[in-house]
Amino acid sequence: MSQSLTGPVTETADPVAQLSLGGDLARPARLTVAELREWPQHHAEVDFECATSGVQHHRFAGPLLHDVLTAAGPGFDPVRRKDRLRFLVAVRGADGHHAVLSWAEMDPDFAGAPVLLGLTLDDVPLDRAGPQLVLPQDRCGARHISGINAIRVDGGYASWA
């Protein structure tokens, strides 16, 4: 990139958000929204209520969080269902807002909620902002975390044994 001698350096390229997958994973990764389009895409229409701004209705499309994290190799024994129950999934937005889900909440052998990593919001691509967590099972909007930049999988409660 050329640098102006007369003014401040400005960023000309569009920033592309990256999502890091870490924690108890065999294959940690950094993924862009474009790369997340390679998974099977699911659609969700959700209504959620915000304590301050009222009810909102949005349409999202993107991969299942369960599919993306399963591909990253979570550190449990896949044939022993009970081994999954200690796993938490922590999701964080670029602004620091974060929340946890249990693995069982989105696992089809347990609660099986169709939790998405939304890559479009009302048909607008989120390549620059980053994916948005979509939880059709939630009445409150607070876990619909926008601009996700990190997800950590944590099976640490095994140490309670």
Ligand X SMILES: Nc1nc2c(c(=O)[nH]1)N[C@H]1C(S)=C(S)[C@@H](COP(=O)(O)O)O[C@H]1N2
Q: Which chain residues interact with ligand X by CB under 6 A? A: 50, 53, 93, 95, 97, 141-142, 144-147
| Position among 16, 34, 50, 55 found at the interface with Mo ion (CB under 5 A) | 50
Q: Cβ 99 to ligand X, closest distance in Å?
A: 9
Asked if 93 touches Mo ion (CB under 5 A), the answer is: no
List Cα–Cα distances, 131 to 12, 25, 31, 53, in angstroms. Answer: 22, 20, 10, 22
Contact 36, 119 (CB under 8 A): yes
Q: Hey, is 159 helix, strand or coil?
A: helix
Q: Cβ 30 to ligand X, closest distance in Å?
A: 19
Q: Cβ 54 to Mo ion, closest distance in Å?
A: 9
Nearest to 106 by CA among 160, 153, 49, 53: 153
Contact 65, 135 (CB under 8 A): no
Q: Using CA atoms, how far apart are residues 17 and 62, in angstroms rounded to an integer?
A: 15
Partner from ligand X, Mo ion, none binding residue 35, C-beta < 5-8 Å depending on class: none
Within 126-155, the residues that bind Mo ion by CB under 5 A are 141-142
Asked if 34 touches Mo ion (CB under 5 A), the answer is: no
Residues that bind Mo ion (CB under 5 A): 50, 141-142
